[in-house]
A = this chain, B = another copy of it.
Amino acid sequence: MILTSFDPLKKEQFQVLDKDGKVVNKDYEPKIDDDTLIHMYKTMSLARVADIKALQYQRQGRMLTFAPVQGQEAAQIGPMAALDKKDWLVPAFREAAAMLYKGVTLEQSYLYWYGNERGSQFDEGVNVLPVNVPIGSQINHASGVAYASKIQKQDAVALAYIGDGGTSHGEFHEGMNFAAVYNAPLITIVQNNQYAISTPRAKQTKSETIAQKAVAYGIPGIQVDGNDVLAMYAVVKEARERALKGDGPTLIEAFTYRLGPHTTSDDPTIYRKDEEVEEWKTKDPLIRFRKYLTNKKLWNKDKEEALQEEYKKLVNDTFKKVEASGLVELDDVFKYNYAEMPRDLQKQKEAYEAYLKESEEN
């Protein structure tokens, strides 16, 4: 049992791969088939390329504000690989990588950040909730989804993400406590990327780890090396089993780092030092995982080059498509406020259309 072996109150952190991709904790190395390992790596890579490209587009004025994932790919892909298709992902707003793995298309993802609600109209059977902007509130949704899953015997869990900053929010507390009381099959991953915008982790809470906050809810809490995709996979696998057995939620602190800016409107040089970023670059989750796969002979330089080429093209093509989608139609902004449009809203729409027509004619 991983969850009982690493006590956050003793500042223990769970790791499988060190930063050179060496297995340091053989006992806990998860058994993952090769295809899945490669799929995990590829999705991490795609997320990374999409991220870097989006930043370029944004700097060119072609993309709106978005929240980069860079550096946190392992904390997102490990857990997703440990889930079943019918499990739910309940993201905060920095989980583009996790969403990709769970079936949100790159086009949808880009479309969302491009400013179009269609980007959250996920495909049938993709159990992912839309990007959640109001911090903390998604924990309650996840708890509710999990509870519903439990009493309807769906044999599925809900996995929610939140940031280190988000744990200060009352909704985090209420959601975790609620889920714990009713043993809802919830897994909450705190991506502790050391900052909430400019606010460092130490100004967010006085607790030495985020994981120890689990004590308040009478549930297991564990700190994991969030840049270690195998550790993240293994711990979620175990938390999922617990949850499905009816033992309730688990709190997982993924100790990681946001390599990029908070969003594209943010200038991180104001509040953090280059050396700090450089230091964390050496712990890059992609490099580490690539080394592991290379050691396993599942990956090599040629494959890497080909993959990079393929993804650059894919990302470019996708973004062009998104760009070509243009503006949102008038119908769309009225139609989805209710299942059926109320008569007064219908009249508002007609009045506005009449105005548009009239003002066009003049």
Binding site for B on A (CB under 8 A): 9, 168-174, 177-178, 180-181, 203-208, 212-213, 215-219, 248
- Residue of chain B at shortest CB distance from A178: B168
Measured between beta carbons, the chain B residues less than 8 angstroms from A212 are: 215-216
Measured between beta carbons, the chain B residues less than 8 angstroms from A181 are 203-206
Q: Considering the chains assembled together, what is the distance between the CA atoms of A206 and B182 in angstroms?
A: 9
Shortest beta-carbon distance, A211 to chain B, in Å? 10
Given contacts A180-B206, A181-B204, A206-B248, contact A9 B170 (CB under 8 A): no
Give min CB distance, A141 to chain B, whole Å.
15
- A207 CA / B172 CA spacing, docked (Å): 16
Q: Are B168 and A174 in contact (CB under 8 A)?
A: yes
Provide a sorted-by-A list of 27 A–B residue pairs whose CB atoms are within 8 angstroms.
A9-B215, A168-B177, A169-B170, A170-B170, A170-B171, A170-B173, A172-B173, A173-B173, A173-B174, A177-B206, A180-B206, A180-B207, A181-B203, A181-B205, A181-B206, A205-B216, A205-B218, A206-B217, A206-B219, A206-B248, A207-B218, A208-B218, A212-B216, A213-B216, A215-B215, A215-B216, A216-B216
Give chain B residues whose Cβ lies under 8 Å from the Cβ of A203. Answer: 181
Q: Which of A172, A180, A206 has the most CB of B within 10 A?
A: A206
Q: A181–B174 Cα gap in the complex (Å)?
A: 20
Question: Copies per complex?
Answer: 2
**Complex contacts, A219 vs chain B, CB 8 Å:** 206
- In the bound complex, residues from chain B placing their C-beta under 8 Å from that of A205 are 177, 180-181, 216-218
Q: Which 7 A-B pairs have the closest CB atoms?
A: A170-B170, A173-B173, A206-B218, A207-B218, A216-B216, A180-B206, A215-B215
- Minimal beta-carbon separation of A12 from chain B (angstroms): 15
Chain B residue nearest to A140 (CB atoms) is B170
A286 to chain B, nearest CB (A): 33
Least CB distance from A316 to B in Å reads 44
Contacts of A173 in B (CB 8 A): 168-170, 172-174
Find chain B residues with CB under 8 A from A169 CB: 170, 173-174
Q: How far is the CA of A205 from the CA of B248 in the complex (A)?
A: 12
Given A169-B174, A173-B173, 19 more A-B residue pairs with CB atoms under 8 Å apart are: A168-B173, A168-B178, A170-B171, A170-B174, A173-B174, A177-B205, A181-B203, A181-B204, A181-B205, A181-B206, A205-B216, A205-B217, A205-B218, A206-B218, A206-B248, A207-B215, A207-B217, A212-B215, A215-B215
Q: Which residue of B lies closest to A219 (CB)?
A: B206
Nearest CB on B from A137, distance (A): 10
Looking at the assembled complex, report how far the CB atom of A163 sits from the nearest CB atom of chain B, in whole angstroms: 15
* B218 with A215: CB separation less than 8 A: no
Q: How far is the CA of A178 from the CA of B173 in the complex (A)?
A: 14
List the B side residues contacting A172 at CB < 8 Å. Answer: 173
